[in-house]
Chain A
């Protein structure tokens, strides 16, 4: 058992004001999780579930409205994001973005892009040293050196994403957040990037927080997975176990929708009826999934289920377990 986790998030919330009213969008609602050094954790959920907001809180691009973010035991959540650029932790938490065409400055060459964090966070300004380090990082992500002088529009999608990864690992972060790093890429390129990410983690010993809506991809690259729905984490557990025995009805619905490549396995897809609840001022006493949940019952409308430990490394936030197990199952 490691002494303290690399990242520990507790009770983290982000509420955005709604323009022209006093209502609040509850984008992230009292989320807690931890991530050990060297671990790779997946964060899965549909768009708008708050996963992008959550990682932007953790990377300190956004300020939270409640809760704590501890990195290596240090509370970093309270530091205003505008000042975080000057903190030593800045170099330790980096991110790879979803869409390389949007996340690379069109007027920066690949070299300039990769050199940017090295200049500011590692304080390297001498041209020779900078060139050496950029070449070293480009080598790590298998970006041919002659491409370093090119602008993003002169690179293919896969090469662009390599530049994005090189920029993120240039200052040797301990925690790398991957925000849907392959969803804008073609299947063949996606496979290449996934292999590269797995190799980089092995070689550099980074921790990954891998955000994706694609469960097939998450399964390949993470040891643990967190499922998020409407701003809350509804299930956490070892990836293989969650995939083989999902506990939350939302996880089950997600898994039933995965393409299988098998025309013979016409599995019964779980249909989610109804519309998702509005994220604006949601009721604190109603399960967020209620209304769409195929198995919801009266208690779900009265009480918000908390994330509970189920034994092993599994957690779930659902009343169904009480009903199904009739009291004998989950331990607090």
Chain B
């Protein structure tokens, strides 16, 4: 156990020293997670309270990110929104990762009708522009956090299913799979114990890249009014709220939540590359 920890630590050190960009991404994510967990205590003002300052005040020492049209503190709202945005993205990605990789792996391994059903489902989803599909579903089922999670999970399902299917497919006839059959493993065990773990690095990298996209999708839905409802603090709605004031020069209302959104997406994407190095055992020595 301790050797495993040691090995992880050593690999971690490699990532830090060999790739400062990944390290930066890790730091940024750590910051985001801290904000998500403790944002309510960190935020200087109540994010929902109106008129904590003047309306549409530009950034100042009392309101670092300025205030919005209802006199709410934008910094506090940006901080508190982290929890909701990350929560939606993580739950959605976890769901689509689990369902998509299980379905895709079974399709790639068993072939036959399993494969036909899974590929049909994937093709059907992929036949729509994914964001438009998400809009349609949200409009139909109504806006709630749960529905956002399920919708975002659904539109991400195909990417996991396709990757898992391809990854399992190339390994299905590997020598070690034949050897596992000779060793008396049942097909299900071969898939779960021998093949699937070898596909994980690719899937996890995909998940990390996907996380940014999931945040964007959720924020995008809220932006067009099909996601989280105001007055909840959420980056997408805040950008949407502020967009009306861009023209009149009150740039800070949209810009700061937008930057938060961008940084979150960027750090998840950068982390994807770093994770690939960490997880792939062939890269450790």
Which residues of B159-205 have CB atoms within 8 Å of chain A's CB atoms? 174-176, 178-187, 194, 197-198
- Smallest Cβ distance from A63 to chain B, in angstroms? 13
Say whether A178 faces chain B, with CB atoms less than 8 Å apart: no
> A97-B175, A99-B175, A102-B174 are contacts. A61–B182 as well, Cβ < 8 Å?
yes
Asked if residues B186 and A107 are in contact (CB atoms below 8 Å), the reply is no
Say whether B282 faces chain A, with CB atoms less than 8 Å apart: yes
Neighbouring A residues of B178 by C-beta, 8 Å: 56, 61, 95, 97, 103
Neighbouring B residues of A167 by C-beta, 8 Å: 179, 183
Say whether A153 faces chain B, with CB atoms less than 8 Å apart: yes
Asked if residues B198 and A117 are in contact (CB atoms below 8 Å), the reply is no
Complex Cα spacing A94 to B181, Å:
10
Which residues of A79-138 have CB atoms within 8 Å of chain B's CB atoms? 81-82, 85-86, 90-91, 93-95, 97-99, 102-108, 116-117, 120-121
Partner of B197, one of A86, A107, A117: A107
Q: What's the dominant secondary structure at chain B's contact region?
A: helix
> A99-B175, A102-B174, A102-B176 are contacts. A153–B282 as well, Cβ < 8 Å?
yes
Complex Cα spacing A318 to B29, Å:
73
Asked if residues B183 and A61 are in contact (CB atoms below 8 Å), the reply is no
Number of interface residues of A (CB under 8 A): 32
Asked if residues B182 and A59 are in contact (CB atoms below 8 Å), the reply is yes
Say whether B281 faces chain A, with CB atoms less than 8 Å apart: yes
Asked if residues A82 and B176 are in contact (CB atoms below 8 Å), the reply is no
Neighbouring B residues of A116 by C-beta, 8 Å: 180, 183, 185
Question: Which one of B176, B178, B186 has the greatest number of beta carbons of chain A within 10 Å?
Answer: B176
Complex Cα spacing A104 to B185, Å:
15
Complex Cα spacing A59 to B183, Å:
11
Asked if residues A105 and B180 are in contact (CB atoms below 8 Å), the reply is yes
Neighbouring B residues of A82 by C-beta, 8 Å: 187
Complex Cα spacing A154 to B198, Å:
17
- Smallest Cβ distance from B153 to chain A, in angstroms? 27
Asked if residues B185 and A120 are in contact (CB atoms below 8 Å), the reply is yes
Complex Cα spacing A86 to B185, Å:
9
A–B pairs, 27, beta carbons within 8 Å: A56-B178, A59-B182, A82-B187, A85-B181, A90-B182, A90-B184, A91-B184, A95-B178, A97-B178, A97-B179, A98-B175, A102-B175, A103-B174, A104-B175, A107-B197, A107-B198, A107-B281, A108-B176, A116-B183, A117-B183, A117-B184, A120-B183, A151-B281, A153-B282, A154-B285, A167-B179, A167-B183
Complex Cα spacing A108 to B185, Å:
14
- Smallest Cβ distance from B12 to chain A, in angstroms? 18
9 pairs of A and B residues whose beta carbons are closest in the complex: A103-B175, A120-B184, A117-B183, A102-B175, A105-B176, A121-B184, A116-B183, A97-B175, A85-B184
Neighbouring A residues of B185 by C-beta, 8 Å: 85, 116, 120
Question: Which one of A99, A103, A104, A168 has the greatest number of beta carbons of chain B within 10 Å?
Answer: A103
Neighbouring A residues of B179 by C-beta, 8 Å: 95, 97, 103-105, 164, 167
Neighbouring B residues of A103 by C-beta, 8 Å: 174-176, 178-179
Neighbouring A residues of B285 by C-beta, 8 Å: 154
Neighbouring B residues of A104 by C-beta, 8 Å: 175-176, 179
